[in-house]
Structure 1
């Protein structure tokens, strides 16, 4: 690998259950996230990220506040977002918030910016979905300039103009690490390359290898835009337990009602056990024992030229104890095993016999 491989955790602030199977309160769930970030740091993980959602059961609606709280409770781990919906954020406010998080955390802040796969924030903050593409493009242009230029003069359609504006506190020169989150759009891949930002692939269903073409497109576009080679990461869902059967059964119990709801809302496939097992075996669910999950991460890291893998470990009503066990096993067993596997020389594929010609 050209750069150290990073392993991180993503949370959408989803409500957990306690030892008696009762949902935690909203406030308890927020505090749980701080404790889970501390645990992630203690087991040696590289990044802890939170999302941005505005729906029942998700406590990640104020990511900069959460990350600032986590910053004061940790010392080393990177602090980021699994997605920040730039389209419905103001770039100036976002700069202020994350420059402050970066200062509080002593340089540990990072971002993943996205257009939004769920759109509750548009009506909530008074934006029109018909402006979906224009909002993101224009706001990304402004945010990139605010990070990379000392003083900015800017005029656009989505907010008031800026005239020779210098924001405080200042980010480090060049800004903080900022990735573009992509769910499948080739146009978004090209945009990430054009702005010179790393690519984060949100792979939540189907075979992850189908994104290999997106990675190849990204590297070609970087070259055409005169950009250096930049990192590619993957965000996927999963759970790690002491053995494969325990992990599969526990995740199935909580994944099935979630996908059933999404199938009604967004036209996803209805969940069934055969499809679920296929997702675990060859698809986008990283569910199993530490060895099973480590092998899958390492294989895809090679296939897709990844520099980072983020595991979304929380799912609605999952016991807090199972979340903690995932974090412990991920840091203590999966992460070192992945690095061991990636340090080995890549094996050549077996020669094809004449019987297959």
Structure 2
């Protein structure tokens, strides 16, 4: 199982003052460099178009990271495909793939926020149709550099070349899903790796969807040796579990409330946080031993090939993120790998 980190580039917001974007972007590069040095398998950065996030163009961050890393895989988490141009998106990630020596990945999704749709001139009424059509085109481009294609939402292509090409003429493309059967069917039909976002409730409730995806993947006749499935869960690590949780709560709850105000959620409560941190909860926030136990439980529950720790919710300090990354890379990941290797 690959062990990686996902981020959205949350800005630190304290006493009404928002961290400068440039400062956070420089911190991100330092954090990715540390991930590479400590042996983290992959890094994913999200795309948002909001005042509380620093990153609207994941490919720019990944290109910068490619120049200061040697081994770590670099991908989006996610690229909002519905409001993007598949041609330009493929070109950007193929460029990162060439720059990094074949370490780029693209994770396509519809996005958990809607700001990109009006920003780029798309209608939310076309939410599903946009993603379906653009995913089809993106996969066609990944299969061939000469494209003849016609759709509803983009000008047609007539035997046109899409360049540059990814290393080995193949870009790893994942699909992020929030938990709907329709999304699972789409991914399985295309034989694509899937990242499930588990950001609420009891993770075991997702077992039927994982099973459904695995069964459909087989039914569609895809090579089972290439089967990949992952989870993305809010995570944060420190030396002392209780102290880490206590220190992180104000940061985490503030972001839940910022998002919640736009979605009509009630104020975030300590009891929600505590339930999330419990053995059957969706949060992996605490010390190394707590994290190891819970990550291994997720692997056992779902048969994962990848686990992504979403680590910067709410914009915790750079120093605390660096500590969390260090613990993950030097203490948590090695113990998880050892347990999986020995079956203990």
Which category describes the TM-score, using the shorter chain as reference length?
over 0.9
2:110–2:131: 8 Å Cα contact kept in structure 1? yes
Q: How does 1:34-73 map to 2 (within 5 A)?
A: 34-73=29-68
3-state SS of the aligned residue for 2:251? helix
* Cα shift at 1:316: 2.5
**Partner of 2:221 in structure 1?**
226
Instruction: Name the structure 1 match of 2:86.
Output: 91
Deviations 1:234-264 (A, max 9, x none): 1111110001112211221111122223332
2:284 aligned residue: 286
Q: Which residue of 2 aligns with 1:275?
A: 272
Q: CA RMSD in A?
A: 1.8
Q: Is the 8 A contact 1:11 1:314 kept in 2?
A: yes
Contact kept, 8 Å, 1:38 with 1:73, in 2: the verdict is: yes
Kept in 1, the 8 Å contact 2:98–2:167? The answer is no
What secondary structure does 1:237 align onto?
Answer: strand
Give, in whole Å, the separation in 1 of the partners of 2:319 and 2:134. 40
In structure 1, the partner of 2:260 is 263
Which residue pairs with 2:234 in the alignment?
A: 237
Q: Does 1:301 align with 2:296?
A: no
Aligned match of 1:15 in 11, 14, 37?
Answer: 11
Give, in whole Å, the separation in 2 of the partners of 1:51 and 1:317: 14
- Quick check: 7-16 or 269-278, which moved more? 269-278
1:104-183 pair list within 5 angstroms: 104-173=99-168, 175-183=170-178
**Aligned pairs, how many?**
341
2:2 aligned partner: 6
Partner of 1:313: 311
Residue pair 1:17, 1:319 contacting (<8 A) in 2 also = no
Report the TM-score, using the length of structure 1 for normalisation.
0.92
Deviation at 1:24, TM superposition (A): 3.6
Q: Which structure 1 segments of 5+ residues have no match?
A: 347-357
The superposition leaves residues 95-127 of structure 1 with CA deviations (integer Å, 9 ceiling, x where unpaired) of: 110110100111000011101111110011110
* CA shift for structure 1 position 57: 2.2
2:71 to 58, 72, 76: 76
In 2, the alpha carbon distance for the partners of 1:190 and 1:42 equals: 38
From the superposition, tell whether residues 202 and 287 of structure 1 become closer, same or farther in structure 2 (CA, over 3 Å).
same
SS of 1:271's equivalent in the other structure is: coil
Q: Bigger radius of gyration, 1 or 2?
A: 1
Structure 2 residue runs of 5 or longer lacking an equivalent are none
Deviations 1:279-338 (A, max 9, x none): 011211110101101110011111111111111111224111111110000000010111
Asked if 1 retains the 8 angstrom alpha-carbon contact of 2:101 and 2:167, the reply is no
| SS class of match (2:65) | helix
CA distance in 1, matches of 2:222, 2:315: 43
Q: Which runs of 4+ in 1 moved over 4 A?
A: none
